[in-house]
Structure 1
Amino acid sequence: MATLTHASTDHSSEASWLTAYTNFIAKAEFTRFGWAVSALAIQGCVLSPALLLSMFYFGGGDWQFLVSMLCFLLVLVPVLSAMPVKYIFPAFATSLVLHLFMIAIDLL
């Protein structure tokens, strides 16, 4: 008679992207000030001026300026309210995607 064995379901070695992101956020909390300053610097010194220049040269709408300012506030509010990094990263990622999308709209 054959012995019945159960397959091992140990998935601890396989980290999903969500687990990796959660671990990264936990480690990044120690340097929250650096991440916050970097997000604001990239937002205010790279993304917003690039969008404004593309709007000026290629003709953008007023709605793009409004969305740009709201995206800047989307990043600024979690930073100034001293929220954890888990709120700063998604806000910055959303702002980055929207800015790049609007720049692509202007260029095309």
Structure 2
Amino acid sequence: MATLSQSTPAYTITPTTNNWLATYNTFIEEADFNRVGWAATTIIVQGCILTPAFLLIMFMYGGGDWQLLTANLSFLLVLVPVLSAMSVKYILPAFAFSTLLHLALILMDIL
């Protein structure tokens, strides 16, 4: 005779991986819901804070033409994933790389 109820195990095992990659992947999956907000934030920070600060520092301390080209290309590195409606998975690493590049160029001009 068959049983009417299904037996369930007394416990379930959930893997607890607390490494940075699992945390980052979880954050990216949750942030993809607000992709437009993240894209707007990256463009605003890039276009209204980082690039004008870099241009001001570069013209005050005398940077080279290659620095202007590098800064413009790194700005495009952020702009292309935003305008092509890519996922936050691609926008945030491009923004992080561009931010590091801008800050490195600013420090190079100041020092």
TM-score by length of structure 1 reads 0.88
The one-letter code matched in structure 2 to 1:71 is: S
Counterpart among 31, 36, 58 of residue 33 in structure 1: 36
1:7 equivalent in structure 2: none
Q: Larger radius of gyration, structure 1 or 2?
A: 2
Alignment of 1:88-99 (within 5 A): 88-99=91-102
How many angstroms apart in 1 are the aligned matches of 2:35 and 2:17? Answer: 27
What is aligned with 2:74?
Answer: 71
> Which runs of structure 2 are paired with 1:1-108 in the superposition (5 Å)?
12-108=15-111
When the two chains are superposed, the root-mean-square deviation of aligned CA atoms in Å is: 1.3
Query: Identity of counterpart residues, as a percentage?
Result: 57
Cα offset, 1:11, TM superposition: 8.5
Give the counterpart letter for 1:106 in structure 2.
Answer: D
| TM norm structure 2 | 0.86
Which runs of structure 1 show a deviation greater than 4 angstroms over 4 or more consecutive aligned residues?
A: none
Structure 2 gaps of 5+ residues are: 1-12
Deviations 1:7-47 (CA, angstroms, capped at 9, x unpaired): xxx89224110000000000000000000000000000000
Cα distance in 2 for residues equivalent to 1:85 and 1:95: 15
- Structure 1: unaligned runs, 5 residues or longer: 1-9
Separation in structure 2 between the aligned mates of residue 42 and residue 48 of structure 1, nearest angstrom: 9
CA deviation after TM superposition for structure 1 residue 82, in Å: 0.3
Q: Counterpart amino acid of 2:24? A: Y
Distance in structure 2 (CA, Å) of the matches to 1:71 and 1:39: 12
Counterpart amino acid of 2:68? F
Aligned AA for 2:88?
V
